[in-house]
Amino acid sequence: MSITRSALLQAFDQLLSPERFKDYGPNGLQVEGRGEVRKIVSGVTASRAFIEAAVAAGADALFVHHGLFWRGQDARVTGWMRQRLGLLIGHDVNLFAYHLPLDAHAELGNNAQLGWQLGLVVQPQRFGEQELGWLGGPGEGLQFGSVEPLARHVEARLGRRVTAIPGDGRPLKRIAWCTGGAQGFFEAAIAAGADAFITGEISEPQAHYARESGVAFLACGHHATERYGAPAVAAHVAGQLGLVHEFIDIDNPA
């Protein structure tokens, strides 16, 4: 089975509704390649290593969370940008990228999929900028009396070390999360009544906020927390349209 590039764009747009978000870069088709698509390769970031691996795997279209273009970025096509664009154009492959719409999708997005990976029960309430933060609690059979068991649980599920700042030692019943570089959501999570906040990265202020508010903070990796949305969406759309899909994970310690 194959489908046209524009039909594939329409399917992604229909599922992810990019028009609902104010984002840091363009969502949708970022680099135009061949007109017919048989195979989609998904990944977290359109890095050179990912593009090379996807081309080697026979991709007609790449589907990623972090595309090539961001607001405020140097617009010159030099260095890494020249290399990545050169590979995409040279191999005539399409690059689709969805940032916030991919974080937010209710079942297939990064936040939904991370919650599912961690065994968290999702509450309907959202918080933070553009309602991107999620709230929930420990699911069936899980109980976190303090930050330690939650940190060990996340480490086991994501396969990497986490940086955990304990709060005041209260049991962690209400857990907030937002994937990637969402450390700036911590205060909104505290205001939303969270006992702990899970995200990808930590900056200097969050350690103090955790100590002073009593709410635990866990930095679990930008890449590690955003590894699940892109393959979930790409597999869903590929299944819908009868296309082949493969996820390629290029590990990133950040």
Residues that bind Zn ion (CB under 5 A): 180, 226
Residue 60 or 226 having the CB closest to Zn ion: 226
The residue whose two tokens read 């940032």 is 99
Cβ contacts of residue 2 below 8 Å, gap of 6+?
36, 37, 38, 60, 243
Measured from the CB atom, the residue of 3 and 162 that comes closer to Zn ion is 162
Q: Using the minimum distance from each CB to Zn ion, give the nearer residue, 164 or 182.
A: 182
| CA nearest to 93, candidates 141, 149, 46, 45 | 46
137 vs 180, beta carbon nearer Zn ion: 180
Beta carbon of residue 212, minimum distance to Zn ion (angstroms, whole number):
27
Contact between residue 85 and residue 95 where contact means Cβ atoms under 8 Å apart: no
Q: Residue 168 CB, nearest distance to Zn ion (Å)?
A: 30
The C-alpha atoms of residue 189 and residue 193 are separated, in whole angstroms, by 7
Residue 195 or 226 with smaller CB distance to Zn ion = 226
Shortest distance in whole angstroms from residue 125 CB to Zn ion: 23
**Residue 144 CB, nearest approach to Zn ion (Å):** 25
**Complex with Zn ion: residue 102 or 150, whichever CB lies closer:** 102
- Minimum Å distance from CB 230 to Zn ion? 11
Shortest separation between residue 108's beta carbon and Zn ion, angstroms: 16
Query: Cα(227)–Cα(16) distance, rounded to whole angstroms?
Result: 17
